[in-house]
Structure 1
Amino acid sequence: MPADEVSALLERIERDNVKFIRLQFSDLQGQPKNVAIPPVQAEKALTDGISFDGSSIEGFARIEESDMVLKPDPATYTLLPWRKDEGRAARFICDVYMPNKKPFEGDPRYILKQVVADAAKDGFEFNTGPELEFFLFKMVNGRPSLEFQDRGGYFDLAPTDLAEDVRRDIVLALTEMGFTIEASHHEVAESQHEIDFKYGPALQTADNVVTFKFATKTIALQRGLHATFMAKPIYGINGSGMHTNCSLFKDGQNAFYDPYAPLELSETALHFIGGVLKHVRGITRLANPTINSYKRLVPGYEAPVYISWSASNRTALCRVPAPRGKSTRMELRSPDPTCNPYLTFACILAAGMDGVRNKIEPPASTKLNIFELTEVEREEAGIHTLPGTLLEANQYLQEDELLCNVLGHHVVENLDRITKMEWDSFRTTVHPWEIDQYFYKQ
């Protein structure tokens, strides 16, 4: 970083009366990690970086090659808008480097940067607009419970929606951190909520997803509540998704929009959709990364499971919402908010660019309610399904050469290890359902 930029940041840190600086990064599963340093160490962090032990971070490094370095991205500097009375804290999101000053190949942020740079070779900028849903549960005796915080429904108001004040506090905190909030509302299920922020370049919105989850959990905890982004915390009601709006821009114009084409969708848009649908089974391992994710991906609860696209149909996996023009975009409806946004966006973009570069035509769009079709009718329409388990999705990823090349051997190997470890733990655990089903009868 140039010396004048370092000096300007140091002056800003002093002017903001910062007492602690959090250097944040994400592990392979998208969990935020951080180390806190005092302001006196800021210059070292901005020039040389701060060393840490990568062997203690999931999916990073073996113990014999554990030394790594965090280098702050100056564009991500922001004040944390809580604990103001205890001395201000600031945050940088960091890139992870090896001691030889080369980027760490397993850093999810680096992987997304590489795919974005590859698309830029063809003149494209990739924008994303994720829509995160989450639940708020009551804390009981200092521990999270499964007791709903409210009994509201879609777009409800107080007094039915008791979380208006919490959402307001979250929105105000995010706004202080530089977010442009577009809407906040109660979702379909009891105690379920959604806050939407403005779309932007994929790297920025991936950073925002991690920050959004961190801020939401912090504000909720201050209110005596537990915020969870778990895909399906309660049986029998809607789970939480992270519908992801995607678009390509070229020369400042939306490359998905063609006012003279059918549906006003350019060939670039159709080929992008074709590429995403071709690789979506492998993408599912990244977009739906937990065993619990597949409790959401079942028919009947709004989560799409059928590989299809439509200009308006909400039962399709890929949807092209109205209106057309600068806002023309493809909405991929399968991801959930437990995903690592860096890896998920990277794989969506790589798949879409495969479609654009190789002119992959998507299947015919569907206007039918796919949930109401029989299995035979879906087969006749050529509509296939997403993987039904994490283990199945992982196998599709392992077989997808394009996605494996994008992620690199280190990440693919560790994702495979994590999948098999979790699946084995899940497979051998005796669940409450089994006790209810068999304990008293056998």
Structure 2
Amino acid sequence: MLFPDLQGNLRGKMVDRTVVDSAAARAEGLPTTDLLLAVDPRDEPITTLPDMGLEGGAKDLLLRADMSTMRPVPWFPRCQLVLGDLYETDGGPCEVAPRQVLQRALGTLEEVGIRVMAAFEFEFRLFRADSWEPAATGLSYSPSTLSEVADFVETLRRYADCLQLGLNVVHSEGAPGLLEVNVGPQDGVWAADTAALLRLAASEAARAHGMRASFMAKPTAHEEGSSAHVHFSMWDGAGENVLGRATPDDELYRRAAWGVLANLPALSLIYNPTINSYKRLVPGYFAPLSASCGVDDRSFALRALLRGSSASRFELRRPGADCNPYLTLAAIAASLHLGLTAEHVPERGQVDRHDGALPTSLEGAVSEFRRRGPGLDGVLGPRFCDHYVRSREWELRAWQNSVSDWERERYG
């Protein structure tokens, strides 16, 4: 039984099927600790959270299985995987749990008649186990590069098929060991579930072949970073793609695009959540540095793909491979909701000309998030927003209290 933590990693425990099927587990859930939502990427407890983790007594949460997510685990014989949602012991949803935050954000969109479908395109680096040595050369879209890691690719494909992830594209990118994987679009929470499981499957497939899959945004200096481009479309109650016949002049297009652009500075803290995230966001490496939107142009942070009734969508190119897919999709949903419900309707020129500055560091992103408008709290939840920004400030302090080899070499 698994659930995503703040970093987007899956956490949980192995239990006997009879425990999952018990009346108590079905009705209430199985106990776990809220400490898992109050630790940093190295499992160090975050002590600046006033009511969770160590400061709150590491109290119980209840994990309820979402049985629709059950599927075999290909690397674990006789084991089934099931994702779940976290609840407080009084029965209410845990307001800071990423899967619950996403469900809340998607619910606000459904209230205005919009359902989101999405797909994450992940890039990641393959290194030799226990090293930073690339496992392949770095020629973009090269079959020869894929041949160097053919056994890994075959295992990943087998794992993805078993986990029902809809993996449909694998190709090399322009850096040693850099691969991209694509999956088909899925409804809301399922898209984030697939993204989280895809990262897990890639890590396990790499382990099986003496490699390591790294989802750092920028693991190697002076080389391409790793992104997590998010393709998303909007569908109405009649099952129609609301962008299917849209042009950049249409009000709905302008509202949706403006909602994403206007909230991109504050939500960079979610799309780019680590110190390392901002090493990817530098000139010359095809990562968006400003909040801009345009039709079928990869230089924009928000790329519009207007391709008919089924394929029309947006692609958000700001997130890095280190993003939490649940929170990233929740941030997109919140942005869409705010754009669609705003009193102001942006003009076409306002959208086309917008090229707003975005944070260039985690410190800048924290500051932008601290200045966010109240609308984001209304969708994502004020408790979550406070919890999340404290966790990012913890990361910032951890970095400020460290000294790197670069500093020693340069200033020592």
Flag whether TM exceeds 0.5 (same fold). yes
Match of 1:212 among 188, 195, 198: 198
TM-score w.r.t. structure 1 length? 0.85
Label 1:313 to 1:365 Cα distance change in 2 as closer, same or farther (>3 A): farther
Q: Say how many residue pairs are matched.
A: 394
Q: Look up the match of 1:69.
A: 62
Q: Look up the match of 2:49.
A: none
Coordinate RMSD, CA, aligned = 2.0
- For the residues of structure 2 that align with 1:215 and 1:71, how far apart are their CA atoms? 23
- For the residues of structure 2 that align with 1:157 and 1:198, how far apart are their CA atoms? 22
The within-5 A match list for 1:17-416 is 23-44=1-22, 45-58=25-38, 60-61=52-53, 62-64=55-57, 66-84=59-77, 88-139=78-129, 144-158=130-144, 161-250=147-236, 251-258=238-245, 262=247, 266-321=250-305, 323-358=307-342, 360-361=345-346, 364=349, 383-400=355-372, 401-416=374-389
SS of structure 1 residue aligned to 2:235: strand
In the TM superposition, residue 78 of structure 1 has moved relative to its aligned partner by 0.6
Label 1:209 to 1:262 Cα distance change in 2 as closer, same or farther (>3 A): closer
In the TM superposition, residue 392 of structure 1 has moved relative to its aligned partner by 1.1
Higher mean alpha-carbon deviation, 382-391 vs 216-225, is at 382-391
In the TM superposition, residue 159 of structure 1 has moved relative to its aligned partner by 6.0
Match of 1:430 among 393, 399, 403: 403
1:305 and 1:386 in contact (8 A); partners too: yes
2:102 and 2:189 in contact (8 A); partners too: yes
AA of the residue aligned to 1:397 = F
2:259 and 2:338 in contact (8 A); partners too: yes
Label 1:435 to 1:205 Cα distance change in 2 as closer, same or farther (>3 A): same
Q: Look up the match of 2:47.
A: none
- For the residues of structure 1 that align with 2:319 and 2:345, how far apart are their CA atoms? 22
Higher mean alpha-carbon deviation, 404-413 vs 194-203, is at 404-413
Q: Which runs of 5+ in 1 are unaligned?
A: 1-22, 368-380
Label 1:266 to 1:252 Cα distance change in 2 as closer, same or farther (>3 A): farther
- For the residues of structure 2 that align with 1:196 and 1:365, how far apart are their CA atoms? 32
Higher mean alpha-carbon deviation, 186-195 vs 266-275, is at 266-275
- For the residues of structure 1 that align with 2:404 and 2:411, how far apart are their CA atoms? 11
Label 1:335 to 1:362 Cα distance change in 2 as closer, same or farther (>3 A): farther
AA of the residue aligned to 1:419 = R
- For the residues of structure 1 that align with 2:184 and 2:347, how far apart are their CA atoms? 28
Q: Deviations over 1:138-179 (max 9, x none)?
A: 02xxxx211010113111113674123212211221111112
Q: Which runs of 5+ in 2 are unaligned?
A: 40-51
Identity of aligned residues (%): 27
Q: Stretches of 4+ moved more than 6 A in 1?
A: none
In the TM superposition, residue 312 of structure 1 has moved relative to its aligned partner by 1.7
SS of structure 1 residue aligned to 2:375: helix
RCO (CA 8 Å, sep 6+): is it higher in 1 or 2?
2
SS of structure 2 residue aligned to 1:256: coil
AA of the residue aligned to 2:368 = Y
Q: Look up the match of 1:8.
A: none
SS of structure 1 residue aligned to 2:381: helix
- For the residues of structure 1 that align with 2:394 and 2:122, how far apart are their CA atoms? 27
In the TM superposition, residue 383 of structure 1 has moved relative to its aligned partner by 2.1
- For the residues of structure 2 that align with 1:158 and 1:382, how far apart are their CA atoms? 41
In the TM superposition, residue 410 of structure 1 has moved relative to its aligned partner by 2.6
SS of structure 2 residue aligned to 1:36: coil
TM-score w.r.t. structure 2 length? 0.90
Q: Look up the match of 2:48.
A: none
2:119 and 2:184 in contact (8 A); partners too: yes
